[in-house]
Structure 1
Amino acid sequence: MSESHEENDLLEIKEEKETEEENERTEPKSRFPVMLLLLMSLLFIPIFNFFSYLPALPNVHNYFSTNWNIAMLTVSLYQIVIGFSPLIIGPSSDFFGRRKVIITCSFCYLLLSLLCLLSTDIKLFIIGRVIQGFFICGEISVIYASVSEILPPEKVGLGLSALSFSITCTILISPTIGGSLVNSFTWKGLFISYLILGSYSIIISFFFYKETNKTKRKYELKKLVSSWLYPLKFYFKKRICIIIIIEGFSVGLINFQIVIVPLIVDKYYHYSETVMGLSLIPNGLGGLIGAFFCGPLIDYFYKKYNTVGSRLIVGFVGIIGFGITFFFFGFSLLRSFYGFLVCELILNFFIIFIINATVSFLFDIYPSKTSSLYAIIILTESIFSMITSQLSISALDAPFKWFIIGSLIQLLIISPASFIILKKNWGKKREEQEEQDENELLNLTNIDDGITNENKNNNNEDEDEIKKNKEIVEN
């Protein structure tokens, strides 16, 4: 009788285990839209953390009595860690779980915000600001990864659109809020708001965020480090490298425009920090309009021509329009306050065309490597953004000259390179593309497959253990 009871207990344990695994796959999907709204609110924090700080640059420069090159490091170094953080934070959440990583990042963000607030030395402030950006911006990759886990496949597009909406709205309001806080309380008022947001992130992620990736993997350092390095291999793929550099350079130019606007408003127009924030609103508005038109256009050309290269039509048009508008932006910068605001809106309209066309093209080539591609795209963007942030200081004395240089490079070098990529991939369909890149995919270390196999092996080991326990009971 006891043997029968023990056997039933083992069977119940196995059934409970299977039920738990099933719940791990289905429970998150049942939390739409509450979970998605939670992710949108968490995504607000890293975007706000960057754009709200820009109007504070002149105030930080004056408070610490430092030169502009040093003060600008709070932006340029911040941007470079944005590129590296997805390489570390994203794969780490695959190993340790999304919830643990978000809670850890939020806690570190809170402590580093406090460090910045209490800083009396510019070096300590820069260190705190840069590491703060590493942790909070690393959450972006975790948030995007969570969307595909909380929603069924037919609603993932809706989830990504919701995140894009959250980002655009945050860009719209962040500079104005940041400028108002700095105008009323200096830059310290801004960092008090970061403390509040950090506390909110900890509370939400600890009490309300449900784990979407309940991993049972062994924490092997070797595999974890390999997953960090894996995306870098895309730099050795000529076609991928060129298209990523094209997109990254364009993002670097838009960053040049975003960073230089509050500096110009302060130096030449002598407006307050509140107006500096208001002057950045066209960035978000232009991106919002661009996102509205860009997606349908990319889908239209893809459906019409049914080739991977057709996605780049929108990107090529965006590059041409961006290069022309970049010239007129510099031309109007010191001549008409409202003129450069209009050009600012148009620039951000076209940059969305370039970004979305490039990302959709690359995701079409490597549909199973989207997370790694996303990480390498962000890394490339951050490298160019860091460079252009530092150049913006040199451009303050003669900004029009720098905008001429940027527009010429965009029109005479970036545009022809983009057209060559478009032409070479024009007639290729997705199936043909996948066959062509099959060898490349095999040559790249497939971390995801290795992780999947490890999970299967762990499940098999658990089943073997149950069988052994059953045999022991029977004997």
Structure 2
Amino acid sequence: MQTPRFLDRTTPPHIVTLVLIAGLSALNMNIFLPALPAMARGFDTSYATIQLTLSGYLTGTAILQLLLGPLSDRFGRRPVLIASLAIFLVATVVCILAPSIQLFLAGRFVQTTLIAGLVLSRAIVRDMVPMEEAASMIGYVTMGMTIVPMVGPVLGGLLVDVFPWQSTFVLVFAFGLAVLAVVWLDLKETNRNRPESFAAQFHAYPALLGSGRFWAYTLTTTFASGVFFSFLGGAPFVGTVLLDMTPTALGLWFFPIAFGYMVGNYVSGRHARHLGIGTMMLSGGLIALAGTLIAAAFFLSGHASPLTFFGPMVLIGVGNGVALPSANAGIVSVRPELAGSASGLGGALTIGGGAALSALSGAVLSVETGIYPLLAIMAASSLLGILACLFVLSPGGRGAARQ
């Protein structure tokens, strides 16, 4: 592969560009969260309604991934990404200027085109390098992107303390404009194997859905991510109701988990190439399972505290960081000529499954049941992810893991 040079479109895309386009998606997801109460007051609506800015956004991204992947396989990564960023910028202006909650939610829904950055960054990596190297490179991209969820809510909170809630979207617009400029100057087209028709891309979905390898990789990402989504669905209840924590203290405990995810991605970037993606996926699943079991052991022995709950959860972050880059690399390698379609379909299934597990975790917890239903769901999700990745290590899956 030709050595990438930043802002030089005659060379392959630089890893900084891939981090930026993926990171912008993460920033748009969470920077406004501290502003939700102010937004509810500003639009004179309920907090439940304003929360649609998150749940509706997740639903939109799951659906849109099914379309963006095939579009990029047919027309190329570069034009689809540039068009998606341009639409996102227009939608962000709508959010900033919206006079009603209905128009704001419409703008927020259209902002989902930004998911192209996350979907296509994986497909672009697979266009450039073989699968094992793709797992390593995706690990480094995700490691850089992980910084955003760590600082996004803090940055949003600082803005809302000083300026109106719209300031969070103004900042996202400015970042989006900068990322569009970087993409325009740096992103060389990487998709050189385009089908003759757009319809052919959707015809590929049955082939992907009928592939045991595709399902093994996708279920690994779904259940590995599901452990974390389950944690997100139940942690606020555990922290505030069962452990009597303040919201500030609860928020601070998420930092070590995000840091653990970054560490896992670094490990993936360093070792996926020579250990193989099957080994990385299995190792990540076992690490995440260990975190859940350690927390359960503490609570069963009567040592219930924020440290004994959130401390072991750092291993969830590490495990996901180790497993997910390899699983995502596997998804886009089942049919390399359809990497965009596979990334979109796999991402949609992963987000949908993770969201369902998150809702389940929030629904089963109560003061009477305590923490144990949450830990049971997380452990079950870890085990299912491990079973899925064992297929990759089986005789029938090893060939897939070496492609």
Pick the TM interval, shorter chain.
0.7 to 0.9
CA distance in 1, matches of 2:368, 2:145: 30
Q: Is residue 167 of structure 2 the alignment partner of residue 185 of structure 1?
A: no
Partner of 2:350: 381
CA RMSD of aligned residues (A): 4.4
Residue 77 of structure 1 aligns with an amino acid whose one-letter code is G
Partner of 1:314: 283
CA contact (8 A) 1:95 1:215 kept: no
Partner of 1:42: 21
Q: 2:324 aligns with which of 331, 355, 360?
A: 355
Distance 1:109 1:433, change over 3 A: closer
CA contact (8 A) 2:132 2:272 kept: no
Residue 176 of structure 2 aligns with an amino acid whose one-letter code is G
Residue 86 of structure 1 aligns with an amino acid whose one-letter code is Q
CA distance in 1, matches of 2:217, 2:134: 25
The alpha carbon displacement at 1:407 in A equals: 2.7
| Structure 2 SS opposite 1:407 | helix
CA distance in 2, matches of 1:157, 1:413: 22
Q: Is residue 204 of structure 2 the alignment partner of residue 241 of structure 1?
A: no
Q: Which runs of 5+ in 1 are unaligned?
A: 1-26, 303-307, 436-475
Q: Is residue 8 of structure 2 the alignment partner of residue 31 of structure 1?
A: no
CA-to-partner distance for each residue in 1:57-107, whole Å, 9 max, x for gaps?
Answer: 444445445445433322222123223333322332333343332232122
CA contact (8 A) 2:361 2:373 kept: no
The alpha carbon displacement at 1:284 in A equals: 2.2
The alpha carbon displacement at 1:360 in A equals: 5.4
Q: Which runs of 5+ in 2 are unaligned?
A: 1-6
Partner of 1:415: 383
Residue 192 of structure 1 aligns with an amino acid whose one-letter code is V
Say which structure is richer in helix.
1
CA-to-partner distance for each residue in 1:360-418, whole Å, 9 max, x for gaps?
Answer: 565676666554433232112211233355557657x8379485224324435762673
User: 1:367-378 maps to which residues of 2 (within 5 A)?
Assistant: 370-378=339-347
Q: Tell me which of the two structures has the higher relative contact order, counting C-alpha pairs closer than 8 angstroms and 6 or more residues apart.
A: 2
Residue 41 of structure 1 aligns with an amino acid whose one-letter code is L
CA-to-partner distance for each residue in 1:140-195, whole Å, 9 max, x for gaps?
Answer: 22333334566799976664344223212223322221222233335322111122
| Structure 1 SS opposite 2:51 | helix
Distance 1:59 1:277, change over 3 A: farther
CA distance in 2, matches of 1:434, 1:178: 43
Q: 1:194 aligns with which of 138, 152, 172?
A: 172
Residue 324 of structure 1 aligns with an amino acid whose one-letter code is L
Distance 1:64 1:345, change over 3 A: farther
Q: Is residue 118 of structure 2 the alignment partner of residue 140 of structure 1?
A: yes
Count of equivalent residues? 394
Of stretches 252-261 and 279-288 in structure 1, the one that deviates more from structure 2 is: 252-261
Q: 2:102 aligns with which of 123, 126, 129?
A: 123
Distance 1:224 1:330, change over 3 A: farther
Residue 201 of structure 1 aligns with an amino acid whose one-letter code is V
| Structure 1 SS opposite 2:165 | helix
Which of the pair has more CA radius of gyration? 1
CA distance in 1, matches of 2:327, 2:315: 19
- Aligned-pair identity in percent equals 19
CA contact (8 A) 2:139 2:325 kept: no
Partner of 2:189: 212
User: 1:5-404 maps to which residues of 2 (within 5 A)?
Assistant: 31=11, 35-132=14-111, 134-147=112-125, 159-206=137-184, 208-213=185-190, 223-228=197-202, 230-231=204-205, 233-237=207-211, 240-241=214-215, 244-258=218-232, 269-271=245-247, 278-294=252-268, 302=276, 310=279, 312-324=281-293, 327=296, 336-337=305-306, 340-356=309-325, 358-359=327-328, 370-388=339-357, 390=359, 394=363, 398=366, 401=369, 403-404=371-372
